[in-house]
Amino acid sequence: MIVMVLPIPPAEAVVQPTLESLFDCWRRFFLGQRNHEVFSRDLLNALAAVTHATQAALLIYDSEQQILNRVAAVGVADESALHGRVALGEGMAGWVAQQRQPLLLPLGATVPAHIVRLMAQEGLTSVLCLPMEVDGHLCGVLSLARSGTAPPFTSEDLRFATLIADRQAIALQMVRLYAELDRSESFINRILESIPVSLIVIDQRLNIVAANQNFLTKSRRAQQQTVGKPIAAVLPPVFLAFTRLEERLRTVFASGQPFEGDKLSYRAPGLSAHTYYYRLVPLKRERTVEHVLLLMEDITEREQLSEEVRRVERHLASVIDCASDLVISLSPAGRIVTWNRAAERVSGLNEEQVRDEMLVNLCAIDQRRTLTSLLKRLIAGEDVAETEINLLTANPWSEVPVAWNCSAMHDDYGRLVAIVAVGRDLTERRRLEAQIIQSAKIASLGVMAGGIAHELRNPLAIISASAQLIEENRDNPELQQQATRRIIASAERASLTIEHLLRFAHPPQERYRLINANAVLDDVLTMMDHQLVSVQINLHCELSPELPLIYGNPELLAQVFTNMILNACSAMPQGGDLAITTGVKGEYVLVRFTDTGTGIPREHIPKIFDPFFTTRAVGQGTGLGLSISYSIVRQHHGTIEVQSEVGLGTSFEILLPVHEA
């Protein structure tokens, strides 16, 4: 089986028929009537008439699916092989598309068997089928056929059809390009219409050549009232005058550089005031600015939100500045960002002096480690309790006690953005507490007066008796020497008692320092020894010899221990046992007071640390002892735990944090 494939003859040998109907199709197409289906149908009708074809079909090649799709046909039955979609290599059109060669099959020529079958099935006597290509790319296939008694196609028919196919290929390419252009324009238009900004395109004559729907809606103008009009006829005069728009446009056309405008508030008739931000963007072809894009962004809502944010910020700043507490904001690194008036008043340092300073550097030296640890825990996401840390002041010798509550601020992504430290000046509170403690000491001295008097009377009696003995035995040196030693010992004992008494009664002046709880207990027990004996209380002490040091105020802790012992004495009016134990419990120094007294009813235990709570008769106690003790222990970052059974006794455990070396 042989397929006759004819080469295309030179163009100068082609005899081109000229029919007005055929060229009218081309004129309409190139003048803008680019409906592809209508054009293809009209072209095939004209071509079939010129070539006397009984069948004609135009198929377009889909390069992605590698298939031919019929777009127009004349005289082709639905059951024809040219109906619908044709795969490469299938039938005559598929074979031509695959081989990229024209096919001329006159009657009697030797042809492939499957083509012979097709021609016989469809009653065809001659077929002319050509590929349509542009720049080596297949666009489609043009197929012509004759049937019945019509003569076969000739080489001149092939030349003419080749010219038509070449031009049709160009037309198809143009259709494809126009379709791509339409899609691009549609895509760009959809983008422009979806942008919530007013856009207008202005030419060199300062006429508007395009405007998006946002602009038309905002300006209440129709497309025909806008496009093609000069900007002076469309934009409000106040806008043109304020922005000097015409001058700015000419500058952009001349320089090719964009222009960033400014904010402009404008109220159109019947509308509320709006705020716009405008800019000019040159649109260039090569180096020439052909158009300028005017963008007008409605920032009314943004400005309103910004103003609301500024109003809230001013309000919060005013509240913070008027607050009686210190309010300080820190960066995640711990540097001071804001410092309110209360902080200025308490420290004597203004915001400019402390901004960007590390807060830890403004705290008492011996407490900086505590603050550093607190901030680390806060950054790690832990909750931190109120912590007392002294703040340095402008006076280098002065510190202010401050109770700090710190919290972390995070953004929407959970990232730490700031730390807020709220501090309460404890100066007045400490002064009042000192007065209360001093009053409690005086009250305690009243309770201990009998024992103290006895402590002083005994050595005085010994001194008096020894002096009398010396007077009566002037000639006995040995007896005089013994009496003298007793006088000295008794005087030292009385002096020690008075020293403890003065230390206890004096208002607390000592600063916090490293101390041993056993030493504080020894001083208290020395002063209260006779008090315990006088009320028939047996004292049992078990003090740990290797007790860790704590950081505290010995005078305040002495008051706590004294209150514990006096409470035990009150609970055992008929005498009893008091056990005092010291040791270590976890990270705390433990001081335990256990008595065999009357005990505390369970319903009273939650109230025993409340100020003025007491179960004693009127005149036998103020109810401040345990409250003061609890406050002092909390100042030392410790706790007091109580266990009690009515009729069996009570145990108070004081836990004070071990000093970290």
Segments making up each domain of the chain, as ranges: 11-181, 195-302, 324-425, 430-657
pLDDT digits (tens, 9 = 90+) for 100-127: 888 888 654 556 777 777 777 788 888 8
Q: Is the pLDDT of residue 654 over 90?
A: yes
| Mean model confidence pLDDT for the chain | 79
pLDDT at 1: 31
Q: How far apart are CA 12 and CA 614, in angstroms?
A: 129
Largest pairwise CA distance in the chain: 180
CATH classification for the domain delimited by 324-425, as one of 3.40.50.2300, 3.40.50.720, 3.30.1300.10, 3.30.450.20: 3.30.450.20
**Strand order through the sheet with 588-595:** 537-542, 576-585, 588-595, 649-657, 639-645
430-657 maps to CATH 3.40.718.10: no
CB atoms within 10 A of CB 132: 27
SS3 275: strand
Tokens of 90: 């299938």
Residue of 103, 109, 187, 112 whose CA lies nearest to 141: 103
DSSP structure string for 31-72 = TT---HHHHHHHHHHHHHHHHT-SEEEEEEEETTTTEEEEEE
Q: What confidence category does residue 268 fall into, taking pLDDT thresholds of 50, 70 and 90?
A: low
Q: What confidence category does residue 517 fall into, taking pLDDT thresholds of 50, 70 and 90?
A: very high
DSSP structure string for 349-385 = --HHHHTT-BGGGGB-GGGHHHHHHHHHHHHTT----
Average pLDDT over residues 511-525: 88
pLDDT digits (tens, 9 = 90+) for 58-106: 888 888 888 998 888 888 766 555 557 888 888 888 888 888 888 888 6
Q: How far apart are CA 617 and CA 16, in angstroms?
A: 135
CA separation, residue 443 to residues 452, 479, 621 (Å): 14, 44, 8
SS3 405: strand
Average pLDDT over residues 631-654: 89
Average pLDDT over residues 230-250: 88
Q: Which residues lie across from 211 on neighbouring strands? A: 200
pLDDT at 213: 86
Tokens of 292: 């300028």
Q: How is domain 11-181 classified at the architecture level of CATH?
A: 2-Layer Sandwich (3.30)
pLDDT at 652: 92
Spatial CB neighbours of 549, under 8 Å, sequence gap ≥ 6 = 514, 515, 516, 658, 659
On whether the CB atoms of residues 283 and 292 are closer than 8 A, the answer is: yes
CA separation, residue 44 to residues 24, 49, 141, 566 (Å): 13, 8, 12, 122
CB atoms within 10 A of CB 574: 9
Phi and psi at 327, nearest 5°, equal: -125, 115
Residue of 520, 542, 545 whose CA lies nearest to 632: 520
On whether the CB atoms of residues 261 and 243 are closer than 8 A, the answer is: yes
pLDDT at 83: 55
Q: How far apart are CA 155 and CA 138, in angstroms?
A: 23
Percent of the chain's residues with pLDDT above 90? 13
What sign results for the dihedral spanned by CA atoms 320, 321, 326, 330?
Answer: positive
The residue whose two tokens read 């305040």 is 556
Domains 195-302 and 430-657 fall in the same CATH topology:
no
pLDDT digits (tens, 9 = 90+) for 440-452: 656 555 555 555 5
| Least confident span in 60-74, 107-121, 395-409, 514-528 | 107-121
Q: How far apart are CA 93 and CA 100, in angstroms?
A: 10
Single-letter residue type at 249: L
pTM of the model: 0.45
**Strand order through the sheet with 103-105:** 85-87, 67-74, 55-62, 137-147, 124-134, 103-105
Q: Is the pLDDT of residue 555 over 80?
A: yes
| Least confident span in 2-11, 572-581, 648-657 | 2-11
Q: Is 337 exposed, middle or buried (0-12, 13-18, 19+ CB in 10 A)?
A: middle
Tokens of 597: 């007294």
Q: How is domain 195-302 classified at the architecture level of CATH?
A: 2-Layer Sandwich (3.30)
pLDDT at 519: 92
| Least confident span in 55-69, 284-298, 420-434 | 420-434
Residue of 491, 502, 489, 494 whose CA lies nearest to 453: 494
Torsion of CA 336, 339, 345, 348, to 10 degrees: 30
Q: Is the pLDDT of residue 205 over 50?
A: yes
Q: Can you say whether residue 142 is alpha, beta or left, with left for phi > 0 and alpha for psi between -120 and 50 degrees? A: beta
Residue of 506, 514, 609, 590 whose CA lies nearest to 552: 514
pLDDT at 310: 79
Tokens of 77: 């039955």
Spatial CB neighbours of 538, under 8 Å, sequence gap ≥ 6 = 575, 576, 577, 578
CB atoms within 10 A of CB 267: 11
